[in-house]
Structure 1
Amino acid sequence: MLTTVGLLGSLLAGCGGAPAAQSGTSGGAPQANTGSGGAATEEYEKATIRLAYNLPQDHHISKGIEDFAKKVEERSGGNVKIQVYPAGQLLSDKEMNQAILTGGVEMGVNSSTLWASVVPAMGIFDVPYAIPTSYELAGKALSGSVGDKLKAEMEKKGAKVLLFADYGYAQFANSARPLKMPADFQGLKIRSIGHIPSVMIQAYGAAPVFMGAGEVYMALQRKTIDGATSGTTAMVQRKYDEVSKYLTISNYAYLEFVLAVNKKYWDNLPAKTQELINTTAKETEEWIRQQAEQEDKATAEQLKEKGMEVYVVPEADLAAWKEAAKPAWDEYVKTAGDLGKELLEEIQNIQ
């Protein structure tokens, strides 16, 4: 459940222990480990792997992915090279999934929301108040059977998940009025981030609007929309504070990105290379989760300092927000079927 620590709601520690070589600081990516347990690096077969992502390079997920690529190359003695194409240089987010599935690129990072069009069960991260509002419990779910089942569904489609990259919790910014209860959304136009959140926005009485992330600032400035939903990290990067007055922290969704690799390509990699990539990916996943918590805290505070009026939904009120969002739960089960229902039940029992 959501807590009211400071201005941020629930923000708990990442799941699992990172290797000693990792840095737990918030100043940058984990420190590179150039060793590989004493194994002879010449034993790695040469490979060049392309990896594309669309997030800004200064985002904590981007920093983690860049360091992941660096570590793999260093630990393989330069034999396994991962060529990184950042910030949409190679593929847009809309092109990414198909490119991974067809082998147009070997690896890529994309949002779970976009993967939900391929694997409907992946939409669970967008279901309002389905993911525990706790980094520790969210990590426990992703590292356990919930994550395993989602990975299995992805593999059926031809993509192997190497890691879940936590973006952070989703909040609401708007320029009309404080959003303290679902009824406060009535009549507003809110930029949505996907189909399931749009159903929630409609259930709250507002109109969802679809547009690219880069268009939101101008739309808010011109009053063509009243507000938007996103993580506070993006709100700082996109300068929402200049065009929005109110921030509501409800942690309604856990925004997730996925580093995936083409399954056929993966299956043809030597076992030694697979082991190296898997080990490094696990370290990176844990580091990114720690950073998501720290960045959520820091960026929400920054938005307050920049003049936004911040409202943290009290824990006692969350039941009303969740109940009003029930149509979004029904929509998820409708699209994800029995597996979706099973995942929702399982994730609600994570302790």
Structure 2
Amino acid sequence: MKKLAASFLAVVLLLGILTACGGKSTKETASSEKGGGDGYEDATIRLAYNLPQDHHISVGIEKFAKEVTEKSGGKVKIQVYPAGQLLSDKEMNQSILTGGVEMGLNSSTLWASTVPSMGIFDVPYVFPNYEAAGKALSGEMGDKLRSAMEEKGAKVLLFADYGYAQFVNNKKPLKKPEDFNGLKIRSIGDIPSELIKAYGASPVFMGGGEVYMALQRHTVDGATSGTTAMVQRKYDEVVKYLTINNYAYLEFILAVNKGYWDKLPEKTQKLISDTAAETEQWIREQAKSEDEKTAKELEEKGMEVYVVPENELQAWKDAAKPVYDVFLKQSGELGKELLDLAEHIK
């Protein structure tokens, strides 16, 4: 009887051990399938941006951060600081380059002061449609811009398509370049300032968060931006006229400090790069529909919208010619190469 009891106890213990082992195996498998963090080293990466959180680029960036964290099983944590909580757009680039923040999103326009070739996106009428911009960034142009950024100490993780830039003002409908004469227009960078001057107005540089108050107080007569930001920053409350001429295809750059990037394990680099590529494509798909939706929304909210007819665009392009010379002077041979590449993808 004692032998039988002992044998029974041995069987029970053996089953318990096998069940425990099996449970552990199942748990490990499930964890692995979810991206359990196997092989990833702990890392906490701060990511700052200034756009409103409901902007389509912001939604994409938040999605990117969440997916990297989840795919690494929480090992690679990307902590997001949205809407200027950590850095203003004016402070962002220097902070990325010095390692003050590991990762940040900022406009190509603001990067152009450090990497002049980034001004290509502000040169008027270079990208005639959304498809042309996508082809350029997926090809040789994108490669050349990434290399130029790395030379300065920042690695481009993705190009985020913002959409086309337009003009708003409080004085009158802007139906031809001559209508800009005498106006003060908020600018977003050097090349847009040159365009504003070429059209006869005075550029006033200021960050995105300052524009609403400036328009409200008539510190400026108008501004340039994309309609997506105009909706989110409630321009319809403080400005009357919107002119749609699609003069520049704005990009935002998600960049990481190059020195920090080079020290990350290869597995972590691949995870971030792959997720960034997926996010870039997702954002690109949103740009056109968001432009169309927000332009209509501004009109519905009471803004008077003027769309420059296709057969009148040449006058706008002709008046903008001096801006090309400024861009080439600033960006040199690389700028010329980029303009040539853009010409061939139209």
What's the TM-score, normalizing by structure 2? 0.88
Distance 2:211 2:295 in 1: 18
1:35 and 1:75 in contact (8 A); partners too: no
Q: 1:302 aligns with which of 292, 297, 301?
A: 297
Letter in 2 for 1:216: V
Q: Is 1:104 paired with 2:100?
A: yes
Q: 1:252 aligns with which of 236, 239, 247?
A: 247
Note the C-alpha offset of 1:222: 3.0
Q: Is 1:292 paired with 2:287?
A: yes
5+ residue gaps, structure 1, are 1-33
What does the per-residue CA deviation read over 1:202-252, in whole Å, with 9 as the maximum and x for residues that have no partner?
111111122232332233233332211110011112222222221110110
> What residue number does 2:333 align with?
338
5+ residue gaps, structure 2, are 1-29
2:106 and 2:252 in contact (8 A); partners too: yes
Identify if the C-alpha distance between structure 1 residues 45 and 101 changes in structure 2 by more than 3 Å, giving closer, same or farther: same
SS across alignment from 1:253: strand
Q: Is 1:224 paired with 2:226?
A: no
Q: 2:138 aligns with which of 135, 139, 143?
A: 143
> What residue number does 2:177 align with?
182
2:34 and 2:71 in contact (8 A); partners too: no
Note the C-alpha offset of 1:36: 8.1
Q: Is 1:91 paired with 2:87?
A: yes
Note the C-alpha offset of 1:37: 7.3
Identify if the C-alpha distance between structure 1 residues 218 and 262 changes in structure 2 by more than 3 Å, giving closer, same or farther: closer
- Structure number with greater Rg is 2
SS across alignment from 1:153: helix
Which structure exhibits the higher relative contact order, with contacts defined as CA atoms closer than 8 Å and separated by 6 or more residues?
A: 1
Higher helix proportion? 2
Distance 2:180 2:31 in 1: 53
> What residue number does 2:16 align with?
none
Letter in 1 for 2:245: S
Letter in 1 for 2:227: T
SS across alignment from 2:223: strand
> What residue number does 2:15 align with?
none
Q: Say how many residue pairs are matched.
A: 317
> What residue number does 2:190 align with?
195
Note the C-alpha offset of 1:39: 7.0
What does the per-residue CA deviation read over 1:142-193, in whole Å, with 9 as the maximum and x for residues that have no partner?
1111011000000011110000011110001112111111111112111111
> What residue number does 1:165 align with?
160
Letter in 1 for 2:260: Y
1:42 and 1:76 in contact (8 A); partners too: yes
Q: Is 1:349 paired with 2:319?
A: no
Distance 2:218 2:44 in 1: 47
Distance 2:85 2:35 in 1: 35
SS across alignment from 1:310: strand
Q: Is 1:329 paired with 2:327?
A: no
Identify if the C-alpha distance between structure 1 residues 149 and 35 changes in structure 2 by more than 3 Å, giving closer, same or farther: farther
Q: Which runs of 4+ in 1 moved over 4 A?
A: 34-40
Distance 1:80 1:210 in 2: 37
Letter in 1 for 2:212: Y
Distance 1:296 1:184 in 2: 24
Q: 1:262 aligns with which of 257, 260, 274?
A: 257
Mapping 1:98-137, distance limit 5 Å = 98-130=94-126, 132-137=127-132
Q: Is 1:241 paired with 2:241?
A: no
What does the per-residue CA deviation read over 1:106-127, in whole Å, with 9 as the maximum and x for residues that have no partner?
1111111111111110011111
